[in-house]
Amino acid sequence: MRDAISSLIGAYDATGKYFDRDAIDTLKSYFATGSARLAASSAITANAASIVRKSGTQLFEEVPDLIRPGGNAYTTRRFAACLRDMDYYLRYASYALVAGDNNVLDERVLQGLRETYNSLGVPIGPTVQGIQIMKQAVMDLVGDSADWLAAPFDYMCRELSEKNI
């Protein structure tokens, strides 16, 4: 898993360049938000079950067909699987927050998710909607609307939305 620092070093090393002003500014920005990233991750960890439960409730209120007969969250097993997946997205978003790099999302969530959801016929729209609901819950909890806080959630939504699965 890469973080903001190793990704930056790797990019500059691959081209044989020394850090320029942009690289230094990127590092300064990452370190300036370090304490806030850790605090956000800690808040997510302490409130994960509540975030997932409330976000799931909101998702099912907004898209009630999911929990009706024939819906992808109909039956206790499917309902639990949906909440489990939401928990996965939240946990990996917290990892990406601390790392300052979305690489972990590609490696651990998005690559396998595409194939799995495709084979199971899971609709991606409600998945993206659930991730957006959790993003707002995290931003409300942390009390911040910084780009770095929204970035992992936005990245997952964008990557899932752009893929035809």
- pLDDT over 60 at 43, yes or no: yes
Q: What is the mean pLDDT of residues 131-160?
A: 95
Angle between helices 34-62 and 21-32 (to 10 degrees): 70
Model-wide pTM > 0.85: yes
pLDDT at 162: 64
User: Does residue 165 register a pLDDT over 60?
Assistant: no
Spatial separation of the C-alpha atoms in residues 74 and 140, rounded to whole Å: 29
Domain 34-161 = CATH 3.90.1150.10: no
Residue 155 has pLDDT above 80, yes or no: yes
Q: Is 9 strand, coil or helix?
A: helix
Q: Where are the beta strands (DSSP E) in the chain?
A: none
**Sorting pLDDT into bands at 50, 70 and 90, what band is 119?**
confident
- Residue ranges per structural domain of the chain: 1-32, 34-161
CA atoms of 165 and 161, how far apart (whole Å): 9
In this structure, of 16-20, 80-84, 120-124, the range with the lowest mean pLDDT score is 120-124
